[in-house]
Structure 1
Amino acid sequence: MVAACLFAIALAFVFLDGLIHAVVSWEREEFSYGYIVPPLTVLLVWHALREMRPQESRGTWWGVALIFLAAAIAIPAKVGGMPTFTFYGFIVALYGLALTLYGWHGTRRLLFPIAYLIFALPLPSTLYVNVSTTMQLISSVLGTEALRTLGYSVFLNGNIIDLGLFQLQVAEACNGLRYLFPLGSFAYLIGYLYRGPAWHRVVLFIAVAPITIVINSARISLTGILVNYKGISAAEGFMHAFEGWVIFVVGLLFLFAFLQVLIWITGSREAFVLRLDIDKIMPKAGRVPTPVRASSQGLMASTVGLLIAAITLASLPEGANAVPDRKPLAAFPLQMGSWAGREQSLDQIYLDILQVDDYIVADYTSPDHRAPVNLYVAWYDAQDRRASIHSPAACIPAGGWEITHFDTRTISSLDGQAPLNVNRTIIVNGVQRQLVYYWFELRHRQMTSEFTIKLANVWDAITLGRTDGALVRLVTPIAANEDDAEADARLTAFLNQSLPAMDGYIPD
């Protein structure tokens, strides 16, 4: 009993960042369902243990190794400010505990109940942005097409739906993710409780994404109809009333109806509720199998390993504990050689998403070049659970642009500068074309890969105590009668002037 208590305390301490991150995430409306995931997981695990036979309770030392692996995940996750991965490490540790106490046969019964915890947390930020952007775009297109089919005049530019009297922006609050995650959670739970063919469970879970997109697109279409008949105030009231539980319930009804159709396809007329084993989420009295002595020894070894990991974590920094001195980007020069800039600002809705600590957006023109260059620099004091650098590749489609070409290029023709690696992409919106360069400035590095950013943050947090960084993005239009090489030359000319000017604003 003492060993179990020590294990629980050590486990909680090692993965505390991930657990806190999960609870904080549940305060966001689209993840508010997360409060019910841990209690349901406990019930599912308890029921699975109650069904376990005594001969299945022989633990294995592989569980101890898995717990050590989970602790090894937690250490760089904390240092690099990645609490999502700390939480995933916690799930891995639970599987390790199951293996330690009940072995491979017992863990097989606990495989799906423990995996349900994955739904308690949002996707990692990079994946979240990509999924969010894709769902925004699909919802916008379907909602707009539905309005046009009904005879309404509507114009779509990216995620902005122009209804004439009212512009609907399909941004974070309207992208469907607030329905996707809870519906995915319930589809997983229903699939686990469902007594029927395995392919029914798989298809039901896959159906969550199209169901979510359909109901969100219908909400957009109804908003457009209300604008025409009742005015802007009625549409805004509808959006507010139908952005929470009402739409979620509609999605849940669609999910149940889809499952019922799957049952009918197999030739049965049985109601889907009769195929749900509700006993699996009902509390039950009784004892669970008692682990054998070898399992207790494994538990003690795991506890010692977790205590060592806890001591290690306590001695390491979380993210950045130092932010270098630098000039504010508000003072960035608007005159660089022949280039003259005009500063702009970002709307608050984007600032809330990006969570930048400092930024500049400016359009630069030069009499020596036929088109302007837009410069955007986003600075982060630290990349942690609060914020991290967003890649333009994930955000470009939200503005109505389509990426037609993407590669990584080395700019070696810079005057007195070291060669610069950039992500180079050509984007198209209707007849408009633009050339985009972007890269990431991380301390003494210039990087192009989002994955290596995470690794660099972990290393620099340990060795330098820093996770600050910046995104630098350049955009220039490509005229109809202009060759792509001319646009490349224009951005290179601008880089010759702007890169030296960035010293002090983006410190090494």
Structure 2
Amino acid sequence: MTVVFSFISVLAAWVVLYLDTFPILLNRWNSGDYSYCWLVVPLAAYVAWQRRSLLPESSRPAVKSGYLMLLFVAVLFFLGKASAVDALVFVSMWLCVVAVLLFVRGWKAMKAMFFPLLILAFAIPPPPFINRMLTFRLRLISSDLSVRIMQFIDIPVFREGNIIDLGMIKLHVVDACSGLRYLFPTVLLGIIMAYWFNSRAWQRFVVILATIPTAIASNAVRIAIVGYIARNISLETAENFFHDASGIVIYLLSIVMLVTLSLLLNLFDRGVKRADLADRTYYGQAATNAPLHLIIMAVFLAGMFVLYINAVAGRVVPERPSFESFPMTFSDFEGRREFFSEEIVESLGADDYLSGVFRDKVTGRDILLLVSYYDYQEPQRAAHNPISCLLGGGGWDLSSTTELAPDKAAGRPFKVERLILSKPGARLLALYWFQQRGRIITNEYLNKAYLALDSMSRQRTDGALVRIELMLADGETVENGQKILDRFINSFSSILAPYVPD
């Protein structure tokens, strides 16, 4: 009875602590890229049940390791909440399961349950900024590889960034076509296949290593098939194939490739016999003092919840004027305000924003401006590196990225990150920086670190992301464009200051 009560206590405290995290996690699971996560938990439970016979005959709880794991749980939980990185909070949820296993069974049980715990870790979606960068990279790789496949089968085609030009038809390889939604489930599939079908460690390593190129190649084949159908049959048929059957083709192709590789590797080592899990008949018993440690764990999680509630209640949101009052004419620049649709505003997640196009009266050039401001930042609504947004469409490729030191002579007293994007016949110069609680930061990871620090020390997570862009003229040097943007920053930054409180 005591054992049951201790488990219920831990479960209840765990649910209460992560109550506001579950909707965020399930929302990520409902997205197309991570819909496979719904299968991860039952799959991990099935594998754990299958390996129950490997549990040690006698249990010795790893008490010190269990409490050390609880410390990691607390650190990751509060760090994730403070720095607006929900993936850290998800990891802390997973570590709670590890801590329970250590308290009940110890390290021998951890060894037996390592594989199902590894599978369970796939239920944790990566941070959005990693997701965006992976999406961008995979989109370009898939586009390039699919074009090579089509050229190999004599289809005239060329690529502009993420746009595949088939002559009369242009295919846009958008985020949904990047292959990210196939990458993680393919890696998970490879791990499961390697475990079930291969007995040698090196064989499993090869199979798992092959999952990433398999996922990329399969997705490129899918895009090439869509291109072939669009050119030789009809665009409508290609669209129907993409929406109705292409996902099945990807998974089947990935399975066939990985199974074939796994079987070929087994040809090099037929003499190894896998241990029969059914031959093990002892299941082990929980340690007699395990309930005490579980109850302490429940109290610890409840204490974390109380601290978190107090931290949220003490959050400071500084007063500031709304961007509605921001002057659209200053110095040599005259601008017009632009407004986003409700859908874009919701995806931006900002509490206030300023978007506009400013005409430089001296040069006659147009400068695009976007400032997104957040009263407080939390997972799913925080300032992030804008590279993936700039590269989200239109065929742009990233030519270079450089951190520019402050240039007081040019009128820019702080550093900025400079991006140069290009596509056939066009070049774009973009600058951005994070303006957060009195700091100008260009590194997203450093920005997250300061976000966590200020959240704990000042109870503030407010801040803004500033982005300005200039289309370069034919033959114009980057340095000349930089001078125009520096002049704009010189006049704009002082006006912006009261709208982004120190």
TM tier, shorter chain? 0.7 to 0.9
Are 1:256 and 2:250 matched, yes or no?
no
Q: Name the amino acid aligned to 1:311.
A: V
Match of 1:410 in 2: 406
Match of 1:373 in 2: 367
Secondary structure of 1:26 counterpart: helix
Secondary structure of 2:105 counterpart: helix
Q: Counterparts of 1:377 and 1:168 in 2: how far apart (Å)? A: 31
Are 1:128 and 2:131 matched, yes or no?
yes
7, 17, 24: which is aligned to 1:21? 24
Does the Cα contact within 8 Å between 1:81 and 1:318 map onto a contact in 2?
Answer: no
Q: Counterparts of 1:158 and 1:466 in 2: how far apart (Å)? A: 40
Match of 1:62 in 2: 65
Q: Name the amino acid aligned to 1:377.
A: V
Q: Counterparts of 2:142 and 2:347 in 1: how far apart (Å)? A: 19
In 2 relative to 1, CA 407–78 (structure 1 residues): closer, same or farther, beyond 3 Å?
Answer: closer
Does the Cα contact within 8 Å between 1:440 and 1:448 map onto a contact in 2?
Answer: yes
Does the Cα contact within 8 Å between 2:63 and 2:102 map onto a contact in 1?
Answer: yes
Q: Counterparts of 2:173 and 2:77 in 1: how far apart (Å)? A: 36
In 2 relative to 1, CA 240–356 (structure 1 residues): closer, same or farther, beyond 3 Å?
Answer: farther
Q: Name the amino acid aligned to 2:68.
A: A
Does the Cα contact within 8 Å between 1:91 and 1:115 map onto a contact in 2?
Answer: no
Q: CA deviation at 1:203?
A: 1.9
Are 1:389 and 2:383 matched, yes or no?
yes
Q: Counterparts of 2:7 and 2:430 in 1: how far apart (Å)? A: 56
In 2 relative to 1, CA 396–463 (structure 1 residues): closer, same or farther, beyond 3 Å?
Answer: same
Q: CA deviation at 1:241?
A: 0.9
Q: Counterparts of 1:286 and 1:312 in 2: how far apart (Å)? A: 45
In 2 relative to 1, CA 285–107 (structure 1 residues): closer, same or farther, beyond 3 Å?
Answer: closer
Q: Deviations over 1:110-136 (max 9, x none)?
A: 223212122112211121111111001
In 2 relative to 1, CA 234–381 (structure 1 residues): closer, same or farther, beyond 3 Å?
Answer: farther
Q: Name the amino acid aligned to 1:385.
A: P
303, 310, 314: which is aligned to 1:315? 310
Match of 2:33 in 1: 30
Q: Counterparts of 1:180 and 1:33 in 2: how far apart (Å)? A: 11
1:458-477 aligned at under 5 Å gives the runs: 458-462=452-456, 466-477=460-471
Q: Comparing 143-152 with 348-357, which one deviates more in the overlay? A: 348-357
In 2 relative to 1, CA 236–200 (structure 1 residues): closer, same or farther, beyond 3 Å?
Answer: same
Match of 1:148 in 2: 151
Does the Cα contact within 8 Å between 1:133 and 1:394 map onto a contact in 2?
Answer: yes
Q: CA deviation at 1:140?
A: 1.2
Are 1:103 and 2:103 matched, yes or no?
no
Match of 2:220 in 1: 217
In 2 relative to 1, CA 346–191 (structure 1 residues): closer, same or farther, beyond 3 Å?
Answer: farther
Q: Comparing 133-142 with 184-193, which one deviates more in the overlay? A: 184-193
Secondary structure of 1:467 counterpart: coil
Q: Comparing 232-241 with 333-342, which one deviates more in the overlay? A: 333-342
Using the aligned pairs only, state the percent identity: 25
Match of 1:489 in 2: 483
In 2 relative to 1, CA 263–357 (structure 1 residues): closer, same or farther, beyond 3 Å?
Answer: farther
Q: CA deviation at 1:451?
A: 1.5
Aligned residue pairs total 497
Q: Counterparts of 2:16 and 2:364 in 1: how far apart (Å)? A: 59
Secondary structure of 2:405 counterpart: strand
TM-score by length of 1: 0.85
425, 441, 447: which is aligned to 2:441? 447
Return 5+ residue gaps in structure 2 as ranges.
none
Q: Deviations over 1:47-77 (max 9, x none)?
A: 4443222245343322122113212321232
Q: Comparing 206-215 with 336-345, which one deviates more in the overlay? A: 336-345
Q: Counterparts of 2:351 and 2:237 in 1: how far apart (Å)? A: 37
Secondary structure of 1:244 counterpart: helix
Across the aligned residues of Structure 1 and Structure 2, the Cα RMSD in angstroms comes to 3.5
Q: Deviations over 1:6-45 (max 9, x none)?
A: 1222233233444443322222233222122112222333
Q: CA deviation at 1:188?
A: 2.0
In 2 relative to 1, CA 156–49 (structure 1 residues): closer, same or farther, beyond 3 Å?
Answer: same
Does the Cα contact within 8 Å between 2:160 and 2:424 map onto a contact in 1?
Answer: no
Match of 2:241 in 1: 238
Q: Name the amino acid aligned to 1:37.
A: V
401, 414, 420: which is aligned to 1:420? 414
Are 1:299 and 2:294 matched, yes or no?
yes
Q: CA deviation at 1:439?
A: 0.3
Q: Name the amino acid aligned to 1:401.
A: D
